[in-house]
Amino acid sequence: MTALLIPALFLSLSLMSLLPPLGEAVWLNLPPSTTKCVSEEIQNNIVVLGDYNVVANNRSYDLPGINAKVTSPYGNSIYAEENVTEGRFGFTTTDSGKYLVCFWMHNYHEVVGASINLDWKIGIAAKDWESVARDEKIEGVALELRRHEAIAKSIHATMVRLRSRELVMRKVSETTNDRVSTYSIMSLMICVVVSSLQLWNLKCYFRKKKII
């Protein structure tokens, strides 16, 4: 039984490595008059949840207010808040690319900076499995099987996406190679023609001077 579990465990770990980041906890030190950003490459139609809160660097001061903004890969604002000490954002991605979360002090003349604890969850990690268990009345092994099914689907989608990107890159490489080959042949032909014209011109010159 143990001999069968070890390959299965190794296969599960290998498949899990194909998954995109499911969650990330980031601690940011935010000095005055500075903007700090965190980016993540996310595919389209993925659920993203984020929680952040401010921790003052100097305990003698109250928590300073910060501004927070989340932008899409095309620069569109998805979430924006001003003069807050904590907050939460959630959205479903509509475009593939880098999503940016930025923070800066609300008052740029603030003497003391702050630290920000950012915890965001992506994809499966952002799904509320407690609600799923409550709505579908499943628990224990059934719930774990449902989670593993979601992970398997995510892995399959990732593999399909990687395969599609590989095909696109291969097509681009083949097209570039064809263009380089054509350019090289054209350059060689131009060099041959120019060399022939130079030889012909020199021959005519020498004949005119009766050198040959």
* Predicted local distance difference test score (pLDDT) of residue 4: 38
pLDDT tens-digit series, residues 101-123: 999 988 866 667 788 999 888 87
The residue among 185 and 121 whose pLDDT is bigger is 185
81 closest CA partner among 65, 92, 94, 93: 65
Q: Is residue 34 part of a domain?
A: yes
Q: Which domain holds residue 75?
A: 18-126
Q: Is residue 45 part of a domain?
A: yes
Measure the CA–CA gap between 71 and 78, rounded to whole angstroms. Answer: 5
How far, in Å, are 7, 91, 104 from residue 96 at the CA level?
A: 34, 13, 26
Q: Is residue 195 part of a domain?
A: no
How far, in Å, are 14, 58, 85, 189 from residue 31 at the CA level?
A: 40, 12, 15, 62
> Do the beta carbons of residue 62 and residue 56 sit within 8 Å?
yes
Amino acid at the residue 61: Y
Q: CATH number of the domain that 39 lies in? A: 2.60.120.380
How far, in Å, are 23, 82, 83, 97, 198 from residue 124 at the CA level?
A: 9, 29, 31, 18, 70
> Do the beta carbons of residue 43 and residue 93 sit within 8 Å?
yes
Asked if the model's pLDDT at residue 58 lies above 70, the reply is: no
Amino acid at the residue 108: Y
In terms of phi and psi (left: phi > 0; alpha: psi -120 to 50; beta: otherwise), the region of 137 is left
Q: Which long-range contacts (CB under 8 A, 24 or more apart) does 173-180 make?
A: none
* Predicted local distance difference test score (pLDDT) of residue 26: 84
Q: Is residue 163 part of a domain?
A: no
Q: Is residue 5 part of a domain?
A: no
Q: Is residue 202 part of a domain?
A: no
* Predicted local distance difference test score (pLDDT) of residue 19: 47
Q: Is residue 43 part of a domain?
A: yes
Instruction: Give the three-class secondary structure for 156.
Output: helix
Domain count of the fold of the chain = 1
The residue among 20 and 72 whose pLDDT is bigger is 72
Q: Is residue 55 part of a domain?
A: yes
Which distant-in-sequence residues (6+ apart) come within 8 Å of 120 by Cβ?
23, 24, 26, 40, 48, 49, 50, 51, 101
* Predicted local distance difference test score (pLDDT) of residue 191: 93
Please state whether beta strands 66-71 and 97-105 pair in parallel, antiparallel, or not at all (unpaired): antiparallel
Average pLDDT, the chain: 79
* Predicted local distance difference test score (pLDDT) of residue 158: 75
pLDDT tens-digit series, residues 161-177: 788 889 999 999 999 99
* Band of residue 129 on the pLDDT scale cut at 50, 70, 90: low
The residue among 154 and 92 whose pLDDT is bigger is 92
